[in-house]
Amino acid sequence: MAAIALRGVVKRYGGAKAATVVHGIDAEIADGEFIVIVGPSGCGKSTLLRMVAGLEEVSEGVVEIGGRVVNDIEPSERDIAMVFQSYALYPHMTVRDNMAYALKIAGRPAAEIGERVTRAATILQLEPYLDRKPRELSGGQRQRVAMGRAIVRQPQVFLFDEPLSNLDAKLRAATRIEIRKLHAELGVTSLFVTHDQVEAMTLAQRMIVMNAGRIEQVGTPDAVYGAPASTFVAGFIGSPPMNLLRGRASGTRFEVDGGGAITLAAPAPRDGALVLGLRPEHAQAGGDWMLEVDLVEMLGAERLVHGRLAGAAFTLRVDATLAPPQPGARIGIGADAQRLHWFDAEQGRRI
């Protein structure tokens, strides 16, 4: 196993008019840690992972694996194993042969190969399928074979590039559990890239939230969800995302842009232009903020009430055991001062 260090990592594409897609990333991943890099499509997360793997050249900065600078080292010599979005299995080989192939190419003894494949198959519950071809497997089973192929190599680092994107919702949930069990058993340093914030929240020991080639926030899922560093993180992490109301504060009065005003339980951190954030589950029924209901979504154990608060879009999460409000109704809600999040209106950073 090995720690990973990224120091001022930059990626540019093109010649004289080069476009920078990753802007000076600094991050430290501890030995044995499971880090999830999360962000929207095009934010640079997969490019960053591919630079760690050696599949993309580093334009500036340093990538270290196990204390060794690997910028100019071939991918095959970095002692990493990568699991891709596509399973990339050999269709003419059995599961056993797919998992053993890299070890055979490396010239490992047959007894060692058999032992490693058997252990990986046991961990991933693939023993009944070792003699099947990939076409005879489900999508989730194929992804487990791809992970098994990585496990048998016994690398210092696992790199996952959106490996669950091709699976349906039920299989994604099941495979997330398998990956968590896998890391708990093997303890190998892991970088996992996804655009799915639910995957990030459920898998990560720490998260790196990226936006437009830059890091917005690094922290545990609890820390990122509970204290987002910017309006971007607040709006990206959480399902549904945090309500963000732009307006102007004056003591306990907050005037929402283009709408009405609400009264706060405590004065805002400062007067002037601010963004007020509130998670849908943290609003309380019975307050003096009037929510005009547009739509109610039934989601099993809960309901999402969509409407407008002081003229701005607002979502409220309520327990499904409660009688739902009807579209067109006006309901009173409120929030404790400690549940409110405040952000600078110009920079979007947390106050």
pLDDT in tens, 251-263: 999 999 988 999 9
pLDDT in tens, 292-307: 999 999 988 899 999 9
The pLDDT value given to residue 118: 92
CATH T-level topology, domain 4-232: Rossmann fold (3.40.50)
Average pLDDT score over residue span 5-9: 97
Angstrom distance (rounded) from CA 2 to CA 188? 8
Cross-strand partners of 331: 291
Angstrom distance (rounded) from CA 224 to CA 244? 16
Q: Residue 85's closest CA among 177, 186, 199?
A: 199
Which of the 8 DSSP states describes residue 226?
H
Helix (H, G, I), strand (E, B), or coil: what is residue 213?
coil
Please check whether residue 205 is in contact with residue 33, taking contact to mean a CB–CB distance below 8 angstroms: yes
The pLDDT value given to residue 84: 84
Q: Do domains 4-232 and 240-344 have the same CATH topology?
A: no
Which of the 8 DSSP states describes residue 311?
T
The pLDDT value given to residue 151: 86
How far lies 90's CA from each of 86, 145, 148, 166, 198, in Å?
12, 11, 14, 18, 31
| Per-residue pLDDT band at 289 (split at 50, 70, 90) | very high
Average pLDDT score over residue span 312-328: 91
Cross-strand partners of 333: 285
228 φ/ψ sector (left φ>0, alpha ψ -120 to 50, else beta): beta
Average pLDDT score over residue span 315-335: 91
Average pLDDT score over residue span 210-231: 97
DSSP symbols for 258-308: TS-EEE-SS--SSSEEEEEEE-GGG-EEEEEEEEEEEEEEE-SSEEEEEEE
CB atoms within 10 A of CB 105: 9
The pLDDT value given to residue 1: 67
The pLDDT value given to residue 86: 79
Which of the 8 DSSP states describes residue 227?
S
Domain boundary assignment for the chain: 4-232, 240-344
The pLDDT value given to residue 349: 97
Please check whether residue 149 is in contact with residue 102, taking contact to mean a CB–CB distance below 8 angstroms: yes
Backbone angles phi, psi at 154, to 5 degrees: 50, 60
| Per-residue pLDDT band at 139 (split at 50, 70, 90) | confident
pLDDT at 169 over 90: no
Lookup: tokens for 339: 């549940």
Which of the 8 DSSP states describes residue 350?
B
Strand 80-83 relative to strand 157-161, pairing: parallel
Please check whether residue 6 is in contact with residue 175, taking contact to mean a CB–CB distance below 8 angstroms: no
Angstrom distance (rounded) from CA 101 to CA 95? 10
The architecture CATH gives domain 240-344: Beta Barrel (2.40)
Angstrom distance (rounded) from CA 300 to CA 111? 51
pLDDT > 70: percent of the chain: 99
How far lies 197's CA from each of 130, 181, 208, 288, 291, in Å?
33, 20, 11, 33, 27
| Per-residue pLDDT band at 16 (split at 50, 70, 90) | low
The pLDDT value given to residue 327: 93
pLDDT in tens, 32-87: 999 999 999 999 999 999 999 999 999 999 999 999 999 999 998 999 998 887 77
Q: Which residues does 241 contact at the CB level (< 8 Å), separation at least 6?
A: 234, 235
pLDDT at 176 over 90: no
pLDDT in tens, 90-134: 999 999 999 999 899 888 999 999 999 998 888 888 899 999 999
pLDDT at 245 over 80: yes
The pLDDT value given to residue 345: 96
Angstrom distance (rounded) from CA 184 to CA 302? 32
pLDDT at 166 over 80: no
Q: Residue 125's closest CA among 92, 103, 147?
A: 147
The pLDDT value given to residue 165: 82
